[in-house]
Each structure stands twice: as structure tokens, then as C-alpha cells.
Chains A and B, each alone.
Chain A
Amino acid sequence: MANNNPAKQKSKLGRLTEQITSRVTSNQNNLSAEFIELIKTIGEAKSKQEEDRIIRNEAEKLEELIHKPDNIKKGREYVIRLIYCEMLGYNVPFGYIKAVNMTQDVKLLDKKIGYLASSLFLHDNHQYVLLLLNSYQKDLKSTNPLLVCSALTTITKLINAESIPPIIQLVAPLLKPDQLPAIKKKAVMALHRFMVLDPPCILPYLDLLKHALCDRDPSVMTSSLTLFRFIFSPKNLTPQLYNQLTATLSVKNLLSTFIGILNQVINFRLAKDYNYKGSPAPWLQLKLIKLINLMVKTPSNSGLGVNSYEILEQVLKVNDVLSVNATTIQFCISYEAILAIVSIIECKGVAFNQFSGKEVALLDRCVELVGKFVNKSDSSNNFKYLGIDLLSKIITLNPAYVIPFQSLVLNCLNDNNNINNNNNNNNTDNNNNNKNLNDVTLKRKTLSLLYSMTNAKNVTAIINRLLSELRKASARGGNYYNNKQGQNNNNNNNNNNNKQNLLDSNSNENQYYWKNELIEKILALSEKYAPHISWYIDTIIEVILIGFTSESKNNSNNGTGFVSNLMLLFAEGLGKGLEADKEMRRYAVSKFKLILSRHYNGEGIKKEKLPDIFVQLAVWTLGEFYFMVVNESGTIKLNNNKEQEEGEEIEVERLLIRIMEDGEYNVNNKNFRLNQNFNVELHYGGLSDQDESGMGVVEDEYSSRNIRDKSNECVAVWVLFALIKIYSQKLNHLKNNNSNSNSNTNSNSKKGFDFFNGNNNSNGNNGNNNNNGNEMNEMIEEEIKELIFKWKKSKVVEISQRCYELEKLINSYSSSSS
């Protein structure tokens, strides 16, 4: 490609540095005293407040000066000072127009500074970006290549979709082969940006793209790879567009072009100044490997993967990490190559025992190299991190590959970091070791490894590990109580601590993402490998209790997916027969009862609030299944008798009323809705708040009350319906008993008065009633009907009062009739 004379290359760099240095020092003499003063004071500022004060003064000064007709040189400097203000935290919108106007000036320096400032101040949706179009149109046609480059750089940042058509026509000529490489390279990147914003716009320019790929200048070729990466990344293009593109650009040819280029690069065919620490154009190698990886992943292309094995093997040889002199960058390239190999083999979708000999050999080699990553006796954890990442990907191909790394995995499983913490010696080495092991980044990576190693045998151990991690993450932040306390503490302080609040919420946001990831992983594994339904229920409840105490509004969307799945499971059953379903419901009911009892039992102990979603789930489950369960067995016992509380056992109805009165819970109405029959409808896509068919959100009648009341009433509604279900089932059961009909184990509401559908199912029920209990019967029925039809107009406290009384009635009825 270019000339390979090393001596010439070296002196070129040396010569450049000399010239530049002399110029840089003279530059400082061109700055005004004010500017130098500004920079000095910023540099010497001792605290954030002092810096803020300096910048505020500066900004106020500039606001006055900026529009005065001063000499152009001053204007240039003002804009740079404005850049400083914004960078240090003081927004200066009054200066934006000055920056934009500078792009219309005559001198190169002014234009460049105008373009730079515009790209820093504005974003592609800003109202001023349209004003730059004129400058673009002028400068793209300029004979000064530096000007063209400046315009192209800014266009790449600030262009928006609507402005593409006029600009792309000016950019296209800049891609012609006879243009300067510096211009071509930037024009290609501008084209990339256009394509990202509006993919079809690239269609007329595919030839130019092909030329860029085959350009003799490596930088131009490198830029073009960015476009191909966009094309072959999933979901960037519609299938039609993808097909249109690949009709012109043959995928097979492209792949062999990329492989060919990679071959040339690793054989040092590029100019020496593309070398970095002895490796030829490492970032270009990475781009090519990634691209090859991507291309093969597309389903229609997976057959082509075989062609890539050889080049990737070559790459691994050239960047051999097992050699003593292996550099960091060689590790980096090997990492990418191993990723590509694993992913290509995985795409074939065959089982391990069907891999070709070549593939097995490659994988064995990869595992050997991964060992080096993991065991690199280096002071940094970076390599271990990458090694663990590779291991978690390789394991998906064949779990046996993890065997040489057992001790590593066990360490992750047992969270050995805690053990090491206790040995806090004064020895700095040890301290560093401890700190290294406490590396949060590394820890998270190892948890990913555990995730990919999970199977039916080790799922319990791994889930326990993940749950303990979730507990830690919830304690640290992303938790409602932590948040509130933090804010209260800082309320008394001044401005400085207002920034503190912002920082805390940043940290909570961080924890939030990590928690979410953990929850997703736990749920995925539980669903896939649960050994037993009761274990599954336990795990889900555990996740809810640990992971959903935060009141961040995003959580409500997150929680409902799997909760509604669980409700569906309870309702529809496991599909393994009636016994299994009964067992499952029994277990769920007793579990919820236990947890709620514990929560409402302790006097004077301020318990942490239960997650809203948990309460909702528990209330519904108890309403549906409590009576059914209790009726069969007489009492509720958990399988494991150890869990039975010795303290006072609270009746479920009482628990429910307590929840209603508690008033602390909000109800999620996005995925569940109570319909006319007081049954829950599950909506996976989420409902809009305008949905009138449900009763979860009671808009009109309560519009005068505040939201807290509303949601409180919503919780009350759920509790009420659960109670009504229980009471009506009890009543029907008692009635059936009294009427001397067959004592049935599963009294369902169809046999008795169906409160929710009016008198539809009378079927001469009245005739069945024993005269003795008739009055009681009717009284209770009336009470229940009152509740159903009048709850909308009652306050929560009235409802709960009614429920208490109803309960008394039913109890006296049942004791009188037994």
C-alpha cells in the first residue's frame, strides 16, 4: 500500500513533533490576558464552589460582551470561553447563535471554532441546527480541504433526518476516487450517519460504498467498515431493505473481501505507521473480526461461517497470548477472535457431538488460550474479566469445558471475597489483593458465568447465590427506604448538597439497572430449571420481597410480567392433574398467610413495608383459593411443619382487613384489571389508563380526591373482592351443610347464590334452605350485596367496618349451625 521504509517513517514523526511544538508554545502568546487569567484561576480553584463562582462571573461577563461589535479575533476567543463555561457546568444558551454565525465567517480559524462550538453546544434536535445548513452547503463545495473536513465533522454530529436530502447530494461527490483520503474518510462517516438516520437514503450510493471499501487508503477503507457493520447488525434494516442491499452487494463476496483484508493486515502489508505497540492496525483487525462475526450470525448467512475458521485461526496464531511477550493488544485481538469462533459455531445450532473435527480442534485451542486469560499472573483484573466472559460463552457449546476451571467457579459460588475481607492485614500486598478480589466489575462477570453454567442439578445453589447478591444490591440502594432517608438527611444543607442528592439518585439508578439484571436472570433460571413447584413459588416470592421494595415507577412495569404469569399458573393449574394443582394452591395460600401473619404480628417493630406487588398477588390468591384450601383440610399446614408460627395465628379475613386499613399500598393497574365479575383479567401488553371496562382505576367519581386516596381505594377494592369471595364461599358452604345436601368438598359459588351475577343461578336454591337458618342466611346475603353495590360510594373505613361486622355474623352463623 504505502511505502515501507522504516527510517523515513520515524523521522517523519520526529519532524512533525518539532514543528508542532514550536507552534504550540507560540500559540499561548496569542491569547488575551483575560483568557489566560481565566484558565489560571480555574486551574487554581480549590473547591467546586469556587470554580462555580468563577464560571458564573465569566458567563455573565460574556453575556454582555458577546453581542458587542468587537474585533473578530475577540469573538473567536469569547466562543472558546463559552465552551469552557458549558464544560464546567454553566449553561450559556445566549452564546449559541454566535457560534452558529461564526461558521459563516471568512477565515478558516473562525469557521473551525464556530463548527466546533456548534457541535458541542447543540444536538441534532436543536432549533439552530437548520441555520447551519447554509454553511454546510457553502463549505462542502470549498476548494480548501480543511474546510470541507470541518463541515463534514459537524454534519456527522448535528445532521437530522429532514436535512439529509440536500446535504447528501453534496457529500456524494466527495466520495469519488480522486478526492483526498482525508476528505473521503470523513465523507464516508457522514454517509454512515445519514444511513443511521434514514437507512433507505444509501441506496443510490452503493457503488461509492464499494469503492470506499476497496480504497487504497486504509483509513477510508476502515471508515467504510462502519457502514457494513450497521448493515449487518440485526434489526437496523427492514428485511426488504436488507434484501435490496444484498442484491447489489453480494454477501459472499463481501465476506471474502473482509477476510482478504484481514489477511493482508496481519501479514504487515500496511504502512508501518499503522502499527501500534508492534501490532498492525489492531483496531482495524478488531473491526474486521467483529464484522465477520456479525455477518455469519444472520440466519441466511450461517453457512458461510466455515470460510472464516482459517483466518481466525491465523489471527490467534499471530496474536498468540501464550507467548511470553504477548502484549495487551494481542490479548485484546485474541479475545475478539475467540468470541467470533464461538459465536460462529454456535450459530450452526448443532449439538457438540456433531461438531466437525476442525471445530473441536479450534475450540480446544480456544479453551487453552482462555486459561491464559484467567490465570494471567498480572496485577490487573482486566484479563481475568475477559477470560471469564469467554468461558461463559464457551460453556454454552459444551458444559464440560468448565471442568479445568472448577476452583474459579467455586470461588464465585461461595463469594469467597467475604472470607478474605476478614484477613485485613497491614500488609499492603494483602490489602491490594483483597481490593482486587472486591472488584465489583469482576464479580458481576463471574455471576454471568454462573448463569450460563446453570443446569437442573446446580440451579438451587446458583439461585441462592444470585438471591444473596440481590439482597446486597437492594440493601445498597434502589430501595425506597434508603432513598427517603438520604433525602431527609440532606434537606437541611445548602446548594452543595443539592448536588449530593443528584449523585445519590444517580447511584440508586445504577443499582436499579444491576438489580433488574439480577432479577431477570433469577426469573429466567427459575422458570427453566425449577425442580419443584413449591421451590418455584418460594423463589418468585423471594424475588418480589427482596427486589421490589423500591417505589421507582419503572418497577411497576417490571414486576407485573412474571407476577401475572404466576397468577395464571395458579388459576389454570400445572396441567398435571387435579391433585398437583390443589397441592400448588395449598402451598401458595399457606405461604402467603405465613408471610402476612408475620408482617402484621410483631407489635412496635417497624417492619419494612411489603412490596405493593406482593400484597396484590397475595390478596388475590387468598381470595381465590383460601376457602377452597381450608375447606378440604380443615386447617392449613405447610408441608414443612417447622415454619408454623408459634405465636398467634391471624385469620386470613382479619389479615385482609388489616391490609385494607393499612393504606400503605398502591396497586398496579397496568397488567391486571378487575372486571365486572370481580375476576382478574390479565393483560400482558399492559392496559391504558383509559380502559373503562375494568374497575381497578375508578376515575370519575373520585376525581376530586388525591391520588393516594385513589390508589388506597384500589387496594381496598382488591381486598374487598377477595373478602367477598371468601365470605360468599363460606356462606354457601354453610347453607349447603344446613340444607342437608351432599357435603361437598369443593363448594363453588354456582351451587349457591351467585352474588356477582345476580339471581341467575337461583335454580330453586331458596327451596333448599333450611328454615332455621333462613333469617341469618338472608341477613348475611343482604350484607354482602350491600357491600358489593355500595362500596363505590363508601370510604375505606366504612368498608372495613362492614367487613368486621359481616365476619361476626358469619362466625355466629357457623357456630350456631354446627
Chain B
Amino acid sequence: KKMIKYILLVNKQGQTRLSKYYTHVDYKLRIPMEAEIVRKCLSRSSGQCSFMEYKDYKVVYRRYASLFFIIACDNEENELAILEFIHCYVQTLDLYFSSVCELDIMFNLEKVHWILDEMVMSGEIVETNRALVLSQMELTDDAIEKGD
């Protein structure tokens, strides 16, 4: 099936800051599920594996300050690769927002989505070259500014 099922950014209070589902999950189930996953992440210590079995797939997570970056992936996937991809994505956000913080993400939700759309399509990691992603975003921002 799909390599990546969904990507979430949830803070440690359980509030969702970004959610992108590549396989359809019923709306009513999303919020409780997101909160449950964060609770599980919180209950784990830093030395434990950064991934866990969840239902019949896996959840990989990484914590940056108050935010959990969570990617749910198929059992066949390389967990460490997904973990490192999270870091690659965070680095990209960091470059784009110049030291990204939770508020940046909240005030620029659509941009955060567009950056992710450059890197993951159809649940597959397609682009990890940060310079390319940023130059594409720059083109977009340019065009939007001019068009306005």
C-alpha cells in the first residue's frame, strides 16, 4: 500500500498543528487517534526506540522542543529512514522560516503544507534536496507577491 499513511505535527498538550493524511481516515477517529499517539510518545523515554507498532502499521516520531513530528508508515518501511526524513523536513522548515517555531507553523499553515507537498507525494518521499524545495517555494512566493 502507501509508504506513508499520514503525517502529523502535534504539540505535547495534544493539540494538532498539522495533519496530512495520505490514506483516508474517518474524521471522527482522527482527533482521538492523534491524541492517543501523542500520549504514547510522551510515555516513552528518550532511550527507547523512536518508533512503535500501532494497530497494524508503525508510527515513527521525533520530538523538537514542544512539537512531535509523527509519521505513520507501512510495516515494510525502513524506520530509521523515515526518522531521518523527519529531520530533513524540519531542516527545510528551519531554513525557510529561519529558525522555525510552533507559531511560525500556525501562522503559515499553507506554506508548511506546500513545503511538505514538494517532498512527499502519494505517500512517497520524492524530494529531499532542501535547496530545490526552497527555490520552488521562492518561485511561488515571488509569483504570489507579483500576482497580488
Contact = CB atoms under 8 A, between A and B. Distances in A.
Interface in B54-72: 54-56
A146 B108 contact: no
B95 A17 contact: yes
Interface in B1-54: 14-16, 18-20, 22, 24, 27, 29-33, 35-36, 44-54
Contacts of A113: 110
A83 B109 contact: yes
Interface string B108-140: 111101100100011011111111101111111
Contacts of A193: 122
Given A43-B103, A84-B109, A222-B126, A107 B147 contact: yes
Contacts of A45: 15
Contacts of A351: none
B49 A510 contact: no
B16 A88 contact: yes
A506 B33 contact: yes
B115 to A, nearest CB: 11
A507 interface: yes
A286 B81 contact: yes
A24 B111 CA distance: 10
Contact of B84 (A226, A332, A381, A513): A332
A109 B148 contact: yes
Contacts of A13: 95, 130-131, 134
Select the residue from B32, B114, B135 with max chain A CB neighbours within 10 A: B32
A493 B108 CA distance: 38
A144 B140 CA distance: 11
Interface string A204-242: 000000000000001100110010000000000000000
A362 to B, nearest CB: 20
Nearest to B59: A441
Nearest to A385: B49
A763 interface: no
A244 interface: no
Contacts of B19: 87
A276 B84 contact: yes
Contact of A331 (B80, B122, B137): B80
A432 B47 contact: yes
Contact of A283 (B33, B128, B130, B135): B128
Contacts of A286: 78, 81
A116 B84 contact: no
Interface stretch (A181-189, A406-414, A708-716, A785-793): A181-189
A146 B36 CA distance: 38
Nearest to B51: A441
Contacts of B15: 42, 45, 51, 88
A510 B80 contact: no
Interface residues of A, number: 97
Contacts of A385: 49, 51, 79
Nearest to B23: A123
A263 B123 CA distance: 26
B30 A89 contact: yes
A264 interface: no
Given A123-B24, A185-B126, A432-B45, A444 B53 contact: yes
B90 interface: no
A20 interface: yes
Contacts of B30: 89
Contacts of A440: 52-53
A108 B126 contact: no
B53 A329 contact: no
A89 B31 contact: yes
A80 B109 contact: yes
Contacts of B29: 502
Q: Is the interface of B mostly helix, strand, loop or mixed?
A: helix
A31 interface: yes
A509 B97 contact: no
Interface string A3-45: 0000001001100110111011001100100001001001101
Contacts of A91: 27
A795 B98 CA distance: 77
Given A223-B126, A382-B80, A439-B48, A12 B114 contact: no
Nearest to B88: A276
B45 A23 contact: no
A441 B44 CA distance: 10
A594 B134 CA distance: 72
Interface in B69-89: 78-81, 83-85, 88
Contacts of A107: 147-148
A23 B97 CA distance: 10
B18 to A, nearest CB: 7
For chain B, which range describes its interface: under 10, 10 to 19, 20 to 34, or 35 or more residues?
35 or more
A1 B53 CA distance: 40
Contacts of A380: 46-50
Interface string A359-401: 0000000000000000000011110011000000000000000
A276 B128 CA distance: 8
Contacts of A271: 129
A695 B127 CA distance: 60
A27 B145 CA distance: 10
A442 interface: yes
A83 B109 CA distance: 9
B31 to A, nearest CB: 4
Nearest to B145: A23
Contacts of B135: 12, 16
B120 to A, nearest CB: 10
Contacts of B80: 328-329, 331-332, 335, 382, 386
A109 B36 contact: no
B107 A39 contact: yes
Contacts of A273: 129-132
A507 B55 CA distance: 9
A109 B147 contact: yes
Contacts of B121: 153, 156, 186, 189, 223
Contacts of A331: 80
Nearest to A125: B24
B98 A503 contact: no
A24 B46 contact: no
B97 A382 contact: no
A139 interface: no
Nearest to B15: A51
A436 B48 contact: yes
A432 B109 CA distance: 36
A281 B104 CA distance: 28
A381 B49 contact: yes
B137 to A, nearest CB: 7
B122 A189 contact: yes
Interface in A392-451: 432-433, 435-436, 438-442, 444
A499 B32 contact: yes
Given A273-B130, A386-B80, A17 B55 contact: no
Contacts of A612: none
Contacts of A86: 27
A274 interface: yes
Contacts of B147: 107-109
A336 interface: yes
Nearest to A189: B121
A444 B49 CA distance: 12
Interface of A: 9, 12-13, 16-17, 19-21, 23-24, 27-28, 31, 36, 39, 42-43, 45, 48, 51, 80, 83-84, 86-89, 91, 107-109, 112-113, 116, 120, 123-125, 144, 146, 149, 153, 156-157, 182, 185-186, 189, 192-193, 196, 218-219, 222-223, 226, 271, 273-274, 276-277, 281-284, 286, 328-329, 331-332, 335-336, 379-382, 385-386, 432-433, 435-436, 438-442, 444, 499, 502-503, 506-507, 509-510, 513-514
Given A380-B50, A513-B55, 13 more contacts: A9-B131, A16-B131, A23-B145, A87-B16, A87-B19, A156-B121, A189-B126, A192-B122, A196-B122, A283-B85, A332-B81, A436-B45, A503-B36
9 contacts: A17-B96, A80-B109, A116-B110, A189-B126, A281-B129, A283-B128, A286-B78, A328-B80, A332-B78
